[in-house]
Amino acid sequence: MLYPSQQRRLIGRSLVYVVGFLLFIGLASLQFWHGEAMAQGSDAGVAVGGTTPGTIPGTVPPRLRAQVTILHAAPFATPLAATAIDICDQADAVVDGLAGILFQQVAQVVLDPGTYDWHVATTGSNCGGVILVLPTLKLANASHTLVAITGDGVNYPVESVVTALDAGGANLYLPLTAK
């Protein structure tokens, strides 16, 4: 038999556990739906609420994509138009969305997670006039990386500063099953 003070403590403690559990479930579901909406909204070729090609609707959420922001802060030429750069990949092709970036401009692209080896070339050189080889970018799901290109080539060498604005990471989706 429990004394009245013990009953109140037991009821109070149980109430705290129930409220905590409901709060946890509510926040977890809010985070899940918010994350899914962000994943679907950031997928360039997929409409919000749609699925990526090759998936069965409702089974696998679209992967979260990585963002790369290029900040051109390298005044290596006198007329502004001569500072235009292209970001090129290993196949010497200009990366979509990263062409003709002028001094003091910012360009941003959304890409699939993975490893990218890029270099900076002068615009119009078909990726032949390499100014700078960027370090290998390892982009995780939902990451955001800033690449700042600095230096004037005379007083300071043209260099890059790569900063992870959002590290992103692996997303684990577990199926919910019941018997």
The answer on pLDDT for 132 being more than 90 is yes
- The answer to whether 164 and 148 are in contact (CB under 8 A) is no
pLDDT tier, 141 (very low <50, low <70, confident <90, very high otherwise): confident
Sort 131 into a burial class: Cβ within 10 Å, 0-12 / 13-18 / 19+: middle
Choice among 26-30, 82-86, 153-157 with the minimum mean pLDDT: 26-30
What pLDDT, on a 0 to 100 scale, did the predictor assign at position 154? 85
